[in-house]
Amino acid sequence: MGKLLIGLGIALVLAGIVVLLLERVGLGPGRIPGDFAYRGRNVQVWFPLGTCIVLSIVLSAVLYLVSKLHR
């Protein structure tokens, strides 16, 4: 259980670093094509469709590789 928690902690730190680097380039979460934002007078709606699709593809690829390497 301890190794799992350490691994998850390292993964979260790496994910945070990637997000910070992407924000410096101007491609942070919510700013890629396909993300929708609406700002009205009294309402703000943000739907990160493009970010969700990219994140899903990346996580699927990573988990596929981990499952292939683990066998």
- Count CA within 13 A, CB hemisphere, residue 1: 0
CA–CA gap between residue 66 and residue 71 (Å, rounded): 9
Answering whether pTM is above 0.75, one says no
pLDDT at 22: 81
Residue ranges of domains in the chain: 2-70
pLDDT at 64: 94
pLDDT at 34: 85
For each of the chain's 71 residues, which pLDDT tens digit applies?
A: 888 899 899 989 998 898 888 888 877 666 778 888 888 999 999 888 888 898 899 899 989 998 988 77
pLDDT at 14: 93
